[in-house]
Structure 1
Amino acid sequence: MPKRSEPLVTVAVPSFNQGRFLAHALKSLFAQDPPLEVFVADGGSTDNSREVIARFADHLAGWRSHKDDGQAAAINECIARGHAPYVCWLNSDDWLLPGALARLMTALEHSPKTPMAYGRCWNHDEASGAQRPVWVEPFSESRLALRCIISQPATLIRRAAWEKVGGVDPALHMAMDYDLWWRLYKADGPPVFVEDFVAVNRVHNETKTRNKRHLHYKEAIALIRKYNGRVPLKWWLAQPYAVWFRTLIR
């Protein structure tokens, strides 16, 4: 076990033109209990992101701002620069709740053979301010085949497990997290579930999930076929509502 003064968690913060949210995300990280090494990978933002990063530079393990090969590649880059035994990423428009990483780390310490831990997460609607729970539930393979039951901001992964599967797939742009959960599970077994709410996913009009629903479903369905062998009927029945109807009523 590393000394207390050494980082226990490597955190990647991918960001692009999210300056208005970035400070909130970083503050939530630096309020966590375990010592962290935080790397910010900015994709060459044209807003105030560089100014925000500069305010936190003394607390960061590293940062850069230039055009890159996308979110997944930026996450892998940051994690590779660190050395802590646990890893995660936090998108710049999300944030962690107090004590989040400590709760997830404790769960992993109590389950030494599991590759990752995950907790519950809120969806925060930026327009209305309303919050509702993300659909998260205890792990089972059959349930994972029906929907993504793990919310990415609420996760913590062992570095050994991350490196074993090679991190997130840079060829994916919408469902990279869903793909990662499948690969971690197939390689090292099921994750451990924590009942506590540990993170908040910010919902706003610029998110990829909201603006590119058809691409998200296309990637997700391909992953289901790859890892589950077949695509459950639920995906075909839900797609018209989730992609086309919800796009029309936005």
Structure 2
Amino acid sequence: MSQPLVTIAVPSFNQGRYLDDALRSIFEQDVLVEVFVLDGGSTDNSVEVIRKWEHKLAGWRSHRDDGQAAAINEGIVQGKAPFVCWLNSDDWFEPGGLKRLIEAINAAPQASAVYGKCWNVIQDTGKRKPVWVEPFSERRLSLRCIISQPATLIRRSAWETIGGVDPSMHMAMDYDLWWRLFKEVGPLVHVDAFVAVNREHEETKTKTLRRRHYAEAIAVVRRHHGSVPLKWWLFQPYAVWLKSIFP
């Protein structure tokens, strides 16, 4: 039998109303994958949804855990595929998106990871707009996160070199990951194609914990870039307070 190309971790907690869409989008990709669902002990219909897809999953569990980052690492380490990623249970892949990422990373042997463009969809209205994604540079990364996590594919060798996501982080773990991949392994390569969708709803951490998210992101920039650009301080009132009123 052919071996899977991508190990995908799907961390989830009480996201049963979205989880089915996420898993369907994975298994509709024309790519051999191994998928591990890491559920944090949900009390909604999540386990029912997981059991619906159990015959396609490489593994799953549902119990209390140490948070999203630890769950992602737990899923990835169980797999053997040469490329890895995670898909949060409220996001999904665009048709053919994963194949585009595989083609891109195979064409860029020096890249630690590749990332495409991503749509942001507001759950309540269905309104869709592009997430801010742009070609990689350290200067641009120091000003904002220019990479959208659902649209990213990483070499397993690079993931293992840096030890995966930092389990001590809860808000900006992906931003920290891009910095460590760049600094410790190699460049990240942009793919000019929409490959994934980020679902925005009222329970997302970036909406409910804006202040904590912004503070963690600033700490990431300071740690990896050596200084925090002025932009972060000027933009803080909008990102933390005004954006919650005028999204």
Query: Match for 2:218 among 218, 221, 230?
Result: 221
Superposed CA offset, 1:10-31 (max 9, x none) = 0000000000000000000001
Structure 1 letter corresponding to 2:18: F
1:151 correspondence with 2:148: yes
The answer (yes or no) to whether the contact 2:110–2:187 under 8 Å persists in 1 is no
Structure 2 letter corresponding to 1:84: A
Structure 1 letter corresponding to 2:14: N
Q: Which residue of 1 aligns with 2:234?
A: 237
Structure 2 letter corresponding to 1:244: W
Q: Secondary structure at the match of 1:231?
A: coil
**TM superposition shift of 1:113:** 1.5
**TM superposition shift of 1:84:** 0.3
- The runs of 4+ residues in structure 1 deviating greater than 6 Å are none
Specify every segment of 5 or more residues in structure 1 that has no aligned partner in the other structure, as ranges. none
Structure 1 letter corresponding to 2:17: R
Cα distance in 2, alignment partners of residues 179 and 212 from structure 1: 18
Structure 2 letter corresponding to 1:64: R
Task: Give aligned-pair identity as a percent.
Answer: 66
1:64 correspondence with 2:58: no
Q: Which residue of 1 aligns with 2:51?
A: 54
Superposed CA offset, 1:104-155 (max 9, x none) = 1111111111100000000000011100000000000000000000000000
TM-score (norm 1): 0.97
Q: Secondary structure at the match of 1:88?
A: strand
Cα distance in 1, alignment partners of residues 245 and 106 from structure 2: 46
Superposed CA offset, 1:191-223 (max 9, x none) = 111000000000000000000000001100001
Cα distance in 2, alignment partners of residues 33 and 156 from structure 1: 15
Q: Which residue of 2 aligns with 1:25?
A: 22
Cα distance in 1, alignment partners of residues 189 and 96 from structure 2: 17
Q: Which residue of 1 aligns with 2:202?
A: 205
Q: Secondary structure at the match of 1:225?
A: helix
**TM superposition shift of 1:249:** 4.6
Q: Which residue of 1 aligns with 2:100?
A: 103
Q: Which residue of 2 aligns with 1:132?
A: 129
1:37 correspondence with 2:50: no
Cα distance in 1, alignment partners of residues 194 and 107 from structure 2: 19
1:179 correspondence with 2:138: no
Cα distance in 1, alignment partners of residues 102 and 10 from structure 2: 19
Q: Which residue of 1 aligns with 2:190?
A: 193
Cα distance in 2, alignment partners of residues 58 and 12 from structure 1: 16
Specify every segment of 5 or more residues in structure 2 that has no aligned partner in the other structure, as ranges. none
